[in-house]
Chains A and B, each alone.
Chain A
């Protein structure tokens, strides 16, 4: 793939489009199919494509394995943390109704944040697992 110029250039053009599409899927999940999980997978696949083009070393300069691991932990913490906010604001765990003045707004906020957490975790986990496999030596 590195050697074929046509594949190489088209893939180059594709990467920003894929990243954009991932963001669209992330934030449009309320209205159409999609959401954090799918967006995370697509986002990660863009970086994996980059790694296939330029080698894993170059990709690791953009997002390192350690950064991916940290992001994965942060995504999960964001999700679980939103739930804890529900408790602090006087509701049950993962109660979004109490997050804003009226329940519908609270629900929107809650869903937005946890989907973000899902997207962050999934994208970084997929990427980190990919790294782990490609760096593994026989």
Chain B
């Protein structure tokens, strides 16, 4: 049991963060906070990837004399791309929220739904 915890604790941290992020995305009414939740959710996936790439006793994957064990560079590359994708999504999401606020005068999901129901 003990070895299970020491072996896997790093993954569990990211799972926990993932659950927090996903909960905020689904449950929150505020369109801003949904985006923040989405960010947390995505960051947790990044941490999961990066913790896969870690090698015991390894160093950062930059070749230098005197070092032989390196962490795996491939997850780092993938996550660099994924971070960029996530910030791009956030920017587009924020632009949407800002324009929603302009045309609805609110960024609360329930209020917007109420407005739409009134219209219909």
Contacts and interface: CB of A to CB of B under 8 A. Distances in A.
Q: Direct contact between A and B in the complex (CB less than 8 angstroms)? A: yes
Nearest to B62: A32
Contacts of A133: 94-95, 98
Interface residues of B, number: 10
B62 A31 contact: yes
B16 interface: no
B80 A138 contact: no
Contact of A132 (B60, B62, B95): B95
Nearest to A30: B62
A33 B98 contact: no
Contacts of B102: 138
B55 to A, nearest CB: 18
Interface in B65-105: 80, 84, 91, 94-95, 98, 101-102
A136 B98 contact: yes
B80 A33 contact: no
A132 B96 CA distance: 12
Contacts of B95: 132-133
Interface of B: 60, 62, 80, 84, 91, 94-95, 98, 101-102
Interface of A: 31-33, 37, 129, 132-133, 136, 138
14 contacts: A31-B62, A32-B62, A33-B60, A33-B62, A37-B80, A37-B84, A129-B91, A132-B95, A133-B94, A133-B95, A133-B98, A136-B98, A138-B101, A138-B102
Given A133-B95, A138-B101, 12 more contacts: A31-B62, A32-B62, A33-B60, A33-B62, A37-B80, A37-B84, A129-B91, A132-B95, A133-B94, A133-B98, A136-B98, A138-B102
